[in-house]
Amino acid sequence: MLDRQLVVSQPDLVRAMLVQRQASESVIASVDTVAELDVKRRALITEGDECRHVRKAVSPQIGQLMRDGKREEADGLKAQVKVASDRAKAIDEELAVVEAAFNDILLGLPNLLVEGTPAGKGDDDNVEVRRWGTPKALDFEPKAHDEIGQALGILDMDRAIKLSGARFAVLKGAAARLERSLINYFLDVQTEEHGYTETMVPYIVSRDSMTGTGQLPKFESDLFKLNETVNGQDAFLIPTAEVPVTNLHREEIVNEADLPLQYCAFTPCFRSEAGSHGRDVKGLIRQHQFHKVELVWICTPEQSAELHDKLTSHAEVLLQRLNLPYRVMRLCGGDISASAAKCHDLEVWLPSQGQYREISSCSNFLDYQARRMKLRFRRRDENGKTKNLFCHTLNGSGLAVGRTLVAILENYQQADGSVIIPEVLRPWMGGLDRITASI
């Protein structure tokens, strides 16, 4: 959520940001509505204060008039107090409506973009930052991961459809073990080498949690909503571990000395992927259910820029050790998520498509999520005085497990149809170095 005062005092800045984000005309126009609501809000507050002043000033006079036997004058003042009291109550109700409208607009506005965000409308306008590795030159026609997996008997799409419908998968044998190995490997690297605290979190969260990280209200159609409730609120299956992990400290004030906090978590993720089409819905690229290891940082404003680069490097090292060619892309204004102020996408090479595809998004949200969650930290100055400030939050995939499996099947495929297991994964695979049809 943007700072209310920022939207009111610098509407041109906010409008320029919305234009850079390719926002709709109605969203851009809502900035003017915020200004109108603020004028109305201030007027109501002033009138309400005046009514309360009348009530406070006149009420003591009524008692004195009654004691002096001046009932008629007292009754006149009683009527005046009643008018002021009734109006104050009505003003409180009007203020609640204005505040709700104010809040709805603020919840719908995307984050500001940091300086240097590329201009552009979509992924074609994203800017390449760097590449790592060189795609292997295969002396045979590369197959897609789903074709490889089904030929090896380790990927069963037909039975998944029987169980749950389209865009689900059943992994068998070596593929199931490879998925599990990737999860364990990712978690071990992040906890043992990079200092993350591993967490196991709920997979069902409340509306407040979804709103806190920015999935709601904008992306409700992309979520799986349950018929049951939690804490008296709508309940949702998580689309990413970002939601429960970042919300761990919602409505808390943490000590600055404890920052930064860094968490990692493995979870399944559930998404409707309503807008997906074409080859993306074939195989494991865009599924309704998939696995991911998520990295989350909670820090001070001064730390977030440096930590964003560190977070990105923690995702990159996994691809490097798996020897999977990838590139880092800086997302443009029209492609970046609504909550993020800056985002680096890691895109891994897929031979069957002859292009790089997203495998991780590493984002800096500044204080956008923290304002929604009321997540603050306590800072003490040199005089011992304390001040509560909003935290900054960051997250990124380290990595999307299913897409990593896709990349391994395709990049390590052999002419005979087998798949080599990356060397770093073999300890987690029980020493297995190759997947063949007999496995």
Q: Is 116 within a domain?
A: no
Q: Is 115 within a domain?
A: no
| Domain end (from 50, 81, 108) | 108
Q: Is 117 within a domain?
A: no
- To which H or E segment does residue 358 belong? strand 355-364
Q: 155 — phi, psi (to 5°)? A: -135, 120
Residue 369 predicted with pLDDT over 90 = yes
Q: How confident is the model at residue 415 (pLDDT cuts 50, 70, 90)?
A: very high
Residues 263-299: tens digit of each pLDDT: 999 999 999 976 656 566 688 999 999 999 999 999 9
When the pLDDT of each residue in the chain is averaged and rounded to a whole number, the result is 94
pTM: 0.93
Residues 39 and 183 in one domain: no
Q: Is 60 within a domain?
A: yes
Q: Is 365 within a domain?
A: yes
Q: How confident is the model at residue 73 (pLDDT cuts 50, 70, 90)?
A: confident
Q: Is 182 within a domain?
A: yes
Residues 301 and 224 in one domain: yes
Number of domains in the chain: 2
| Domain end (from 43, 76, 108) | 108
Residue 58 predicted with pLDDT over 90 = no
68-79 mean pLDDT: 75
Distance CA 322, CA 313 (A): 14
Residues 218-239: tens digit of each pLDDT: 899 999 999 999 989 999 999 9
Nearest to 154 by CA among 396, 363, 406: 406
Decide if 119 contacts 333 (C-beta within 8 A): yes
Residues 255 and 165 in one domain: yes
| Domain end (from 108, 141, 161) | 108
Residue 100 neighbours by CB distance under 10 Å: 10
Residues 129 and 102 in one domain: no
Residue 64 predicted with pLDDT over 70 = no
Q: What percent of the chain has pLDDT over 70?
A: 97
Domain, as residue range, for 160: 123-435
326-331 mean pLDDT: 98
The CATH number of the domain holding residue 367 is 3.30.930.10
- Residue 120 one-letter amino acid: G
- To which H or E segment does residue 404 belong? helix 401-411
